[in-house]
Amino acid sequence: RLKGLEGDLAAKDGMIHHVAEEVERVKELYERREARLREERDAARGAAEAAAREVQGAQAQVQEVQTAAVSLREQLQAKAVELKWDWEPQQQWQVQEAGSSCSGNGMWDLR
């Protein structure tokens, strides 16, 4: 009977040892998985931060371009006003010339 109990005890010790090994194996797998997930998370955060910096840089460039466009538009408008004064008499003369040449051809008189 003592040998039977010793056999049962050895079997239980073997099972306990086996379960302990499995627990360690699962812990290692879990820790590797957690480490991989942390690395992926950190990489994703880094990529997101880099993308955010790129967006900020692009927004700054857009703002600069918009500011330059407004400035150029204002310069063009000022130049257009300046040129209108220079061109206006010449344009009136061209319209009058076109009108007189068209009226002789049976076309509408533009005067």
Q: How far apart are CA 8 and CA 76, in angstroms?
A: 100
d(CA 65, CA 67): 5
Q: What is the pLDDT of residues 3-47, one digit of tens each?
A: 888 888 889 999 999 999 999 999 999 999 999 999 999 999 999
- The pLDDT assigned to 35 comes to 98
11-to-5, 7, 75, 110 alpha-carbon distances in Å: 10, 6, 95, 117
Q: Average pLDDT, stretch 70-77? A: 91
Residue ranges covered by each domain of the chain: 1-78
- What 3 state SS string does 8-47 have? HHHHHHHHHHHHHHHHHHHHHHHHHHHHHHHHHHHHHHHH
Distance CA 63, CA 35 (A): 42
CA–CA dist 31, 37 (Å, integer): 10
Is the model's pLDDT at 96 over the cut of 80? no
* C-alpha distances out from residue 48 to 13, 37, 45, 65, Å: 52, 16, 5, 25
Q: What's the whole-model pTM score?
A: 0.49
Give the chain's mean pLDDT.
84
